[in-house]
Structure 1
Amino acid sequence: MKKSFSFLLTLLITHTLVAQQHSEQNHSKYMAPSDPQVKQKLSQWQNVKFGLLMHWGLYSQWGIVESWSLCPEDEGWCERKGPYKDNWFEYKKAYENLQSTFNPTQFAPEKWAAAAKNAGMKYVVFTTKHHDGFCMFDTKQTDYKITKSPFGSNPRSNIAKEVFGAFRNEGFMVGAYFSKPDWHTNDYWWSYFPPKDRNPSYHPAKYPQKWESFKKFTYNQIEELMSDYGKMDILWLDGGWVRPFSSIDTTVSWQKAIPFDQDIDMARIAKRGRELQPGLLVVDRTVSGEFENYVTPEHQIPDHYMPIPWETCMTMGDSWSYIPKENFKSARKLIHILADIVSKNGNLLLNIAPSPDGDFHAEAYQRLEEIGKWIKVNGEAIYETRGDNEVGKQGKWVFTHKGANTTYAIYLADEGEALPANIEIGKLNLDKTAKISLIGNPENLKWTMKEGKVAVQVSEKLAKKTPNSYAYVLKITK
C-alpha cells in the first residue's frame, strides 16, 4: 500500500507540476510597457541576468516557513508547530510577540553586498514586508515594524534602507519585495470575523469602507518605499490573490479559488510609483497585464525559450526563509540553472535567507564564492546576452547570443567531466571566416562543417591545461 500510495502521489505531483508549468509559460496576455523610461529600465534589467532575493522577518527566529503558518488553510505549507499549534489564536499571538525579541545584532548588509557582487549578482530584491504584515522598514502606517523591536535602538534599525543603500553602493539595481495581502492589519484580517483562509476575513463589497481603508494603507506604505529609500528600480509585488476579480485566470487552479474582487487600484499605485521613481519596473506577480512588466515563474524553469522578459525566482537551499539546517544546491547545479535560464531568455533571482542574528549560513557564502570564480572567467556568455531560440538546447549544450555575430555554446559538464575532444553542434550557420575559441584560452580551435553540423576539435594539449569546470564555454564569432 505504501509503495502504491507513493507511486500515485508521484503521478499527482508530476501532473500538477506539468499543469503549473504550462500556466507559467502561457503569456499571451503579456503587455510590453510603452513608457520609454520603463522600456529602458527593462532592457537594463534583462542585461544583468543574476540577482539576489532575501526573505527575512520574524519567522526567521523560529526557523519556520515565511508567514504561512499563520494562514488557517489545510495545506502542508501552513502547518503550525510548537506549544501553541493547536490553538490558532494563541499561535498568532505568540508569533506576533516575536517582535519583542527580534534583535539581529550581526546585521551587516555590506558583507552580503560584497559577497553577492563577487558572485556576479547585479540586482537585489529585499522583503520589505511579507504576508504576516511585519515591516522591515520604518513605516509610519503601523507599529508592527523592525524599528519597534529590540533592534530599534540600533542606529541601523531601518533595515530595508540599510540593505538598499549597501547594495546600491556596489552598483546593484535595487528592488523592494512587498506583500499586497497583510495578515496583521485589521483592514485585511478584520478581528470582527476570524479569517478562514489567506483572503480578507470580510467580503470587500459588503464592507467597502473597510476595503478602502486597506487600499489607502497599502498605497501609503508603497509611497513611503518609493519616497524615502533612495533610487528604486523594481517594485516586486507578491500575493497574487489580491487582484481584480476580472483578472482571474480560471485555467489556473489556485486562481479559481479566489472568492471575490480584491482590486487595490494598481493603476494609481504604479502612477505614483513612477512619479517618484521614473522608469520603475512594476512586477505585479501572476496578474497579467500592464502592471506585470516581467513574469516570475517560481521554482520553475520553462521548458523552452520565452520571447518576453521573465525571471525564475528560486531558493539556494530548500526554504525561502531561514532554517537552521539547510540543504544547499551545489555550485555546479546553480551554475547550470543560471546558464539554462539565460539560454531561454530569462534572469535568475536566487534566494538566500538571513538568520535571526542577521547573517547567512557559512555554506551560502561558499556557494557565492564558487559561482563567482566561474563567472569571472565566463561571465561574457551570461551578461548582456539574450537567449537563443534558433539553435536551442542540444544535449548538454545551451546557447546564448550577443548581437548578430557572437554565439556562446555552454557545455553543462558532469562532476569531473572534461570538455569533449570532438564536439558537434547543429543549427549553426557559419561561414569559413568564423572563429571558435574556448573562453579562458586565447587560441582558436579547429572546426569544419560535417553533415550539416559544426565539428570542433579540442586538442589534447588544450584539454590537459583546461581545469575541470562546472560548465565550459565556446565563443563563436561569425
Structure 2
Amino acid sequence: MNIKKVLFGVTFIMSTMAGHSQSVFQVKQQSLPNPDNEPTAVFPVPSDRQMKWQETEFYAFFHYGMNTYTNREWGLGSEDVTLFAPTKKPNPTQWLKAVKAAGMKGGIAVVKHHDGFCLWPTSTTDHSIVNAGNENGKTTNIPRDFAKAARSLGMKYGFYVSPWDRNSQYYGTEKYVNDVFLRQCAELAQYGKDQFEMWFDGANGGDGYYGGRNTTVNVDRSTYYDIPNLRDSIHKVCPDIILWGVGAEARWIGNEAGWAGETNWLTDERGYAPESNGMYGTEDGWQWDPGESDAKFTDKGWFWHEGEKPLSVERLFQMYLETVGRNATLILNCPPDKTGLLPDIDVRVLKDMGNMIRTRLGKDLAQKAKVSVSNTRKAGANRNYAAKNLTDNNKNTYWATDDGVKQATITFNWDKSQTVRYVDMMEYIRKGQRVRKFHIEISEDGKTWKPIAEKCTTTTIGYKRIIPLNGSTSDSYGKGYQVKGLKVVIDDSKACPLLHSIKVF
C-alpha cells in the first residue's frame, strides 16, 4: 500500500513538472523582421576580407630574388648568398608605378622562393640579403620598400613566402615550422597590417640542399604547416589578408595560362574536388573559394631571363577578358631584371595595356540608356531594388526580383544607334552567386531582337563577367554592332537574381 502511494506521488509530481515545463519553455515562434525586404542569401557567401580581395580584380606578381642572378626558376638552396648582387638599387616604386599604368590595383612581391633566400633581414636564417654580394643587395629590404611604395601610390600589396625551403637544415621537422616558417610569416605581417594577400606556393618538398644534407624531403602540406594557427595568427595582425594556396581562402584557377572557365563558380569543395577543377569551381560547393589566375607577362619563366620579351598587348587584353572577365582575379607576373628594375620595354607595354583597357572598357554606354526590367522587388524601408541601381556605380546597391522569380529581362534602349562590343555584368555576390544561365540579345531598330555572342558559354556571371559580343576573346574588338537596344535575359538562377551592375561598351 505504501509503495502504491509513493508511485502515485512520483507520477503526480512528474506530470505536474512536465506541464509546468511546457508552460515555462514553450515560446511563441516569431519570424525575424526584414524591414528592408532583403533577399535571403544563397550560401556560402564571401567573408569581408574575401570580398575586398575580389574587388582588387587585377594585380601584379614580382618574381625577384636569387634566381634572377643564377638563371634558374627553382634554386637548389645551396647558392652562395653573394651571388645576389643587384647592379642598381632595387626599386619597388618603379615596379608598382609601371603596373598601375596597366590598370592594376596592387602587387605581390616574392620575398622568399624555394631556395630559401630571404629579401629582408630575418632572424630565422643567415641565408638572406644581410650577406648579399654588394651594398645594393645588403641595403635592400624588399618588404619594407614595397609596402612603403604601395601605400604612397594608393595600391594594395602583399608578399609571397615559400613554405618549401631547400636551404633549411630543419625542413621536414617541427622545428622548421615553429622556428623558421611561422616566424618568417609573422615577420612579414609586421611590415603592414593593411596587406591584402600572403601567397603560398603549392610546391612542398622534394630534393634539395637542406643545410648540407643533400637529400629528398617530402611533407603532407595539409597538416605539416599548422595552417589553422598560421591563419588565426596572421588575421589578428592583418585582418584583411587572404592566405592563398595552403591558406585555403582562395584557390588556384588551375593553370598558368591566363584563363578561367566560362562557367566559373566562386564556390568549391577544397579537398574533394580535383585540382583540375580550379577553372570552374563547384556549383553547389560548401566553401566560398574564389579563383585566382596567375600568368606570365613575359615569354620565358617566372623570374627574369636574358632575351625575354613581353607578350603583345592584344594577348594581354585577351588574358584580361578570360580571367577578370570570367569571374576570377588576374595576378600577372612582371619580373625585375638584374638591375632590380623592370626593363624599359616591359614598362612601355604595360602602359599600352592600360591604354587599351581604358579605351575598350572605359566609356559606359549604359549610362545614357533607358533601362527597363521585367520584374522589380518591392522596396523596403531603407532600400530599393530598382533598375537604376544597375547604373549608379554604387557597389552597395543592386537590382533584384521578387522571391520565386528566377527568370528576368533587363532592357537598354537608346534614341540613337550605338556601337557596342562588350557587356560587363556583376552579381551582388555578398548574398551568394546565383545565376546559372543567361543570354544577350540586340536590336538594330529597338523593336526586332536577335541573339548575340552565341559562341560564348553564357552560364555563370558571379563577381564579374565580360562578354565580347562577337563571341571571341582572341579577336574581340572588331567593328562592333550598331544597335538601339540590348537585352540581358536571365534564363535560370538558384534564387531571385541580384545584379549589382551592367555596363555596355
Q: Which residue of 2 aligns with 1:275?
A: 236
**1:307 paired to 2:265:** yes
- CA drift at 1:397: 9.4
**Which residue does 1:265 correspond to in 2?**
226
Q: Deviations over 1:196-246 (max 9, x none)?
A: xxxx4xxxxxxxxx433443311111111112345312111113536xxxx
Corresponding position of 1:439: none
Match of 2:499 in 1: none
Question: How far off is 1:177 after superposition?
Answer: 0.6
Which of 343, 357, 374 lines up with 2:325 in the alignment? 343
CA apart distance, 1:362: 2.3
Aligned partners of 2:459, 2:347: CA distance in 1, in Å?
Answer: 28
**Do the aligned residues in 2 keep the contact of 1:103 with 1:149 (CA within 8 Å)?**
no
Aligned equivalent of 2:118, options 113, 135, 153: 135
The equivalent position to 1:366 in structure 2, one of 344, 348, 361, is: 348
Separation in 1 of the partners of 2:321 and 2:459? Answer: 8
Counterpart contact for 1:299–1:313, Cα < 8 Å: yes
Partner of 1:121: helix, strand, or coil?
Answer: coil
Q: 1:382 to 1:313 in 2, by over 3 A?
A: farther
Is structure 2 residue 51 aligned with structure 1 residue 43? yes
Paired amino acid for 2:90: F
SS in 2 for 1:52: strand
Q: Which residue of 2 aligns with 1:353?
A: 335
The size of the alignment, in residue pairs, is 335
Where do 5+ consecutive residues of structure 2 fail to align? 1-42, 206-216, 267-289, 365-421, 428-432, 440-452, 490-501
What whole-Å deviation, never above 9, does each CA across 1:18-45 have from its counterpart, x for those lacking one? xxxxxxxxxxxxx9688xxxx2221122
* Matched residue type, 1:390: K
SS in 2 for 1:312: strand
Deviation at 1:417, TM superposition (A): 6.7
Q: How far is 1:157 from its partner?
A: 1.4
List alignment gaps of at least 5 residues for structure 1: 1-30, 71-91, 189-199, 201-209, 243-256, 423-444, 453-473
CA shift digits 1:362-405 (9 cap, x unpaired): 2211220111102223157899946985347743798997999x
Which residue of structure 2 lines up, in the alignment, with residue 144 of structure 1?
A: 127
Could you say if the C-alpha distance between residues 51 and 385 of structure 1 is closer, same or farther in structure 2, counting changes exceeding 3 Å? farther
* Cα deviation, residue 332, structure 1: 0.5
Greater CA deviation, 332-341 or 356-365?
A: 356-365
Mapped contact 1:55–1:321 kept (Cα < 8 A):
yes
Is the contact made by 1:109 and 1:162 (CA closer than 8 Å) also made in structure 2?
A: yes
CA distance in 2, matches of 1:61, 1:355: 9
Q: Name the residue aligned to 1:390.
A: 437
Shift of 1:475: 4.0
Q: Tell me which amino acid in the other structure corresponds to 1:295.
A: R
Aligned to 2:198: 235
Query: Which residues of 2 match residues 421-436 of structure 1 at below 5 A?
Result: 421=481
What is residue 319 of structure 1 aligned with on the other side?
Answer: 301
**Partner SS for 2:229:** helix
CA–CA separation in structure 2 for the residues paired with 1:384 and 1:167: 29
User: SS at 1:272's partner residue?
Assistant: helix
Q: Which has the higher strand share?
A: 2
2:425–2:466 contact (8 Å) kept in structure 1: no
Q: Is the 8 A contact 2:147 2:191 kept in 1?
A: no
Alignment of 1:74-93 (within 5 A): 93=78
The residue identity in structure 2 corresponding to 1:446 is K
Report if aligned partners of 1:54, 1:352 keep a CA contact under 8 Å in 2.
yes
Letter in 2 for 1:313: D
Percentage of matched positions with identical amino acids: 20
TM-score by length of 2: 0.58
Distance change >3 Å, CA 394–CA 115, structure 1 → 2: farther
Shift of 1:420: 4.0
Structure 2 SS opposite 1:303 = coil
1:58-137 alignment runs, 5 A limit: 58-67=66-75, 70=76, 93=78, 96-137=79-120
**Structure 1 pair 383–303 and aligned structure 2 pair: CA distance change class (3 A):** closer
Displacement of 1:153:
6.4
The SS at the match of 1:175 is strand
* Secondary structure in structure 1 of the residue aligned to 2:310: coil
Give the TM-score taking structure 1 as reference length.
0.61
- CA 236–183 in structure 1, closer or farther in 2 if over 3 Å, else same: same
What is the SS of the residue equivalent to 2:159?
strand
Confirm or deny: 8 A CA contact 1:398 1:410 kept in the other structure: no
* Equivalence for 2:152: 169
Amino acid at match of 2:294: C
The answer for the alignment partner of 1:331 in structure 2 is: 313
